[in-house]
Structure 1
Amino acid sequence: MRLEKLKKLSEELNSCIVISGESNLFYFLGYDGVGSLIYCDGIPTLIVPALEENRASLIKGIDTEIYFPIKISDNFIQSSLVSIILDKIRNASKVSLDANWSSIPFYKAIESKFPVQDISENILKIRAVKDEDELEFIKRSGDITAEAMKVVSERLSEGVEFSEKFLSGIIDYTMKISGAEDYAFPSIVAAGPNSSKPHHVPTDYKVARGDPVVVDIGAKYNGYCFDSTRTFLTEKRDEVRKIYEVVLEAQLEAIDAVVAGIQASEIDKIARKVIEKAGYGRYFVHSTGHGVGIEVHEYPPVSFNSNAILEKNMVITVEPGIYIGGKHGVRIEDTMIVTEGKPIVIETIYKLL
C-alpha cells in the first residue's frame, strides 16, 4: 500500500482526501475493485458496494465499510456511498478529491457541504514516478509482450495468409499463457491499407504478400501495462521501406533525448521535426508518446503542448508514425524508463524489414 503518500498530501493540503477510480484505488491500496477511499484525520477508510466485500476483505490494516446501492425490501434502509462519505468527513474544514474520477453528481454532493479542492494533477504526478516494484512489474509485462511479438513475427515469416483477427487471437493467447492477467488494451493488427488507420480494429482481412503489418500490443501483469508497436513487411516495398526509415530515425532521435529534466514537448518536437523534414508532417497525426503504468495511457503526455517535465523513474512511450490514408502506415513504439542518463528501453523485437 502507498498510503504514506496520501498521508503526506493530506498534511500538505490540511485537508481530508476522497479517492475514487479503480486505477487510483489499486495504486494506493492494491485493491482491484470499485469504491472510494477516504483519508481523514490520519485514518484511511475504504468504502465499497456489497458485491466487492470479498475483494475488500483482502486488504489488511485498513477500515472497510460496505454499502448497498440497491433497495432489497421495504424494510431495508438503503445506504448511500455519498452519505457514508459525508459522515466520515463531517468534521473536515475542506475536502480534496480527484475530479478526473468523480461524477458531476458526486462532486456536487460533496461541494454542497464543504469547500472542495481538485487534486487530480497531484494524483497524476504521484502515480507517474514509479517505485522499484512498479518498474519490475512493467518490465515483466514487457517480457510477456515480447513473447507475443515474437510469435506474430514467426507467423508472418511463414508466408501464410493469416487474417488480422487470427493474428490478434494468437497474440492474446500467447500473452495469457506467458503469464499475463490480461491485455493492456485490445490488440491491434492492421495489415495492408488498414495499416494507415492508427487505431484499427482487427478484421477478417487476410495479410497479402507485400502488405505492411502494424502490430500494436501490450500485456498486463500484476496490474501494470506495457505498450509496444512494430511494423512488419512481408515483402520488400521501396515506398514503405522509405517511410519506415523516416519513422525509425524520428523515433531513435527522440529516444536519445529522453532524460530526466527535459520537457516532454521537446521529445515530441524532435520526432516531429524529422518527419516534417522528410515531407510527411501532415501524416503524423498523433502525439509522440504517453506515460504507462496501471493504465496504458497515463501522465505525462508526450505531445507538442505538454507542460510535463520528465522525472527519473517515469515510464513513457515514444511512438512516431506515418499514415498514408487508404494505402499504408508505419508506427514504431517502445516503452522506456526515464533516468538521469540514457533511458532504459524495454525492447520487444526488432525484426522488421
Structure 2
Amino acid sequence: MKILAAMSGGVDSAVAAARAVDAGHEVVGVHLALSRAGGTLRTGSRGCCTIEDAMDARRAADRLGIPFYVWDFSERFRDDVIDDFVAEYRAGRTPNPCMRCNEKIKFEALLERAVELGFDAVCTGHYALLVDGPEGRELHRASDAAKDQSYVLGVLTAEQLAHTYFPLGTTPTKALVRAEAAERGLTVAQKPDSHDICFIPDGDTRGWLAERVGTAEGDIVDRSGAVVGAHEGAHAFTVGQRRGLSLGVPAPDGKPRFVLEVRPVTNTVVVGPREALATAEIAGTRRSWTGRPPSASSFACEVQIRAHAEPVAAQAEIVGDEIVVRPASPFDGVAPGQTAVLYVGTRVLGQFTIARTVSAVPVGG
C-alpha cells in the first residue's frame, strides 16, 4: 500500500512509520504545522506540534529513509479546534480538543488530502486495533490497556476506518516501543509523552480562556439558588471542580462543595455536595457510528466518558436525533460538552457529545 505516515515528532508515530516501512509499504512522512507561531517551543512534556517536534519528525524520517513534508494545517486547526474550544466554554460546556483534532484534522482534513493524492491509508502512532469483520472494519481497544487510545478515536467513521493504519495496536507496552525506537537509532526513543492541551503549552487554561472570553463577575449558588460566593468568570469552572471556589458561606454540614453546573447565560456557577455529582442519565446529539451502527434503537453497551475513565455498563436508546444513556451504576461528575464513547466488549460502537445530564440525587435529597 501507499501509506502517508503522520509524524508528530514523538516516539509512537516514528515507530509506527518504521513498522509501515518494514511491512513493505511505500511510506511518505508528513508533519502537520498546527500553529503559525514559528518560534513555538516545547517545554518538557507540555504541548506538541512545536518547531522542535517538526525537527524531530524530520530526523526520524531521514533515519527511515522516507520522503518527508510539512503541511500547514494551522488555519483549519484554528477554525475547527481552537475556535470550537473557545465557543464550547462560552456556552458553559467542557470540550475535548483531542477529539475534535482527531475528527476534523487527522482523520478528515489529512485523510481527505491523502486520498486525493493517491494514498491508500494514513498511518498514526495511536494505540488501537483495527479488525476486518464480516460486516466491515471495526475499531477495538489496544492490547495495552494503559495506553489504549480507542476513546479519542471514537469519532472515526466507517469510511475513515477503511483508510487508517495503526501499527502499534498489538504492542503489549509502551516500554517495548521505546526499546524498539532505541534499537532503530531514533533520537526520540526517550522523548517524554506530550500532555495537556497542545495549544496551551504552559497549562494555564484559565488564563488562556480569560484572554479570549473575558472576565465577568457572577454568583456562585447552591442547589436551592442561595448565593454562597462569587466568581470572576464562569468559563474558569467545570463540573466536578473543588479547588478555587472561594466560597464565603460554608455548607450546613461543613463538607466541601463541588461544581455541579455552569450556567453561561446568567454567568452563574452551581455548587453542591460530592454525592450530587452522581449522574443517572446522560443524553446528547452530534453522534457518529464507528463502523456499522446498532441494529436496534435500544441496546446494551458500555460507556466511557473520559479518555482514562473506567467503562460503565449501560442501556442506550436512540430517540430521534438524541441518544439517551442510563448507566447500571451512576457516572461520576459528567459535564455537558464531554464525549461519551460507546463500546460493545472491546469494539468501539460510536460516540456522541453530551448535551444534558440528570443527577442521581434530587435537589433536597
Using the size of structure 2 for normalisation, the TM-score is 0.31
Kindly indicate whether structure 1 or structure 2 has the higher relative contact order, using CA contacts under 8 Å at least 6 residues apart. 2
**More strand by proportion, 1 or 2?**
2
**More helix by proportion, 1 or 2?**
1
- Asked which structure has the greater CA Rg, the reply is 1
